[in-house]
Amino acid sequence: MTILAGKNAIITGAAVGLGRAYAAALAAQGVNVALCDLREEVLQRPTEMQAHGVKSIAWQGDVSQPDDVRKVVDGTLAAFGSIDILVNNAGVWGASVADDPLDKSLADYDRIVGTNLKGEYLFGRAVLPIMIEHAKGGDIVNVATDHMVTCGTPHNVCPNLPTCPWNQPTSSFDGPPRPTGGGNAMDLYDAAKWGLNGLLFAWAQAGKPHNIRVNALCMGATDSHMLRSFHNFKPSPEEEASWMRAEDAAQVLIDLLNEGPTGRTGQNMNFCVGRPVKLEPPLPLRYLEESAL
C-alpha cells in the first residue's frame, strides 16, 4: 500500500484497454474506483475491482454528454464522499482526411473531438471545482498520444532520441523517429489530442495553488482493443511484439500519482515504443514559465 490507499478516483473509458488497466492498478493500491464507459461491459468491472477490497461503482455513459458526466461525478461524490484522482482516459480513433465528404466530417468531428477533447474538458470542469472546494489537493491525468504534434515533445528535442530505436539507420520503421506525427489520416484525432495541451497548461496553473496536479500520459502503441482494431485485428507478429503492455503503462500512472503534491505538474509524459515503460524524470517546462507554476 502507498499514499494512494483510501483515495477516490474516476476513470473514464474503463471497460477495456488502458482504462481497465489503470482502474485495476489503482484498485490494487487501495483506491476506490468509479468507472464509466460507452460499453455495457463496464458494469461488470466493479466486481473485479472490489476483489482488491475497495469500493467500486460504474455507469454506462458517454463522456461527450454533459448529463452523463454530471451523473458520474455526482454519483461518485455521493458514493465516495470526495474525488482525489481523475483519469481522463476515454478515447476513440477514426481515420479522417482533409477531403472527406462534409457529412462524414461532421459526424467524425462530433465523435472524435467529442470524446477525445470535449469529454476530457467536461470531466475536468466538473471535478476541478470539487477538488478546490474540498481543499485536499488532487490529480488529473489526461490521456493523449505520442504523436509529435500532440505530446508536447517534438522528436527533435526528445532527450531520449539518441537511443530511440526508431532513430537508428537500421530501423525498419517507414517514417521519422517516434514520437512522430500521426499522418494525414488523423487530422481530427490529433487536433483533439493536441487540444488537450490547452487544458493541461491552464489547469496545471489553476490547480497549483490548491495542490492539484495536472499531467498527461502520451501513449505510444499499447496493446488494447483500439490498437488491435487499428490493425484490423490481424497485427503482424513483429508489430504485436513491439507493443507496450497496458499493465506497465498503469504502473507509470501509479508512480506518477505517488509523487504526491510536490511532484511534477503541467507535463506530458511520452510513451515511445522501444523504450522502457517507466516514469522518466520530469522534462524542463517547454510551454509554461516555471514561475507560472
Any idea what the Cα angle at residue 127 is, between residues 122 and 131, rounded to 5°? 160
Which part of the chain contacts ligand NAD (CB under 6 A), choosing from 15-23, 102-110, 153-161, 202-210? 15-23
Q: What are 5's three cell numbers?
A: 490507499
Q: What are 60's three cell numbers?
A: 454506462
Cα–Cα distance, 135 to 210 (Å, whole number): 7
The helix/strand count (H/E) of the chain reads as 10, 7
For residue 202, CA distances in Å to 42, 141, 199, 205 come to 31, 14, 5, 5
Check binding of 39 to ligand NAD (CB under 6 A). Answer: yes
Check binding of 177 to ligand NAD (CB under 6 A). Answer: no
Which part of the chain contacts ligand NAD (CB under 6 A), choosing from 1-9, 57-65, 124-132, 256-264? 57-65
Residues 231-260 touching ligand NAD, rule: CB under 6 A, are none
Binding mask 93-122 for ligand NAD (x = CB under 6 A): ----------------------x---x---
Q: Are 218 and 150 in contact (CB under 8 A)?
A: yes
**Closest approach of Cβ 235 to ligand NAD, in Å?**
11
CB nearer to ligand NAD: give 192 or 257. Answer: 192
Chosen residue from 153, 215, 224, 270 binding ligand NAD by CB under 6 A: 224
Q: Are 155 and 161 in contact (CB under 8 A)?
A: yes
Check binding of 285 to ligand NAD (CB under 6 A). Answer: no
DSSP 8-state assignment for residue 104: H
Residues 62-91 touching ligand NAD, rule: CB under 6 A, are 62-64, 89-91
| Torsions phi, psi for 274 (to 5 deg) | 100, -15
Q: Which residues bind ligand NAD (CB under 6 A)?
A: 12-13, 15-19, 37-39, 62-64, 89-92, 115, 119, 143, 145, 219, 221-222, 224-227
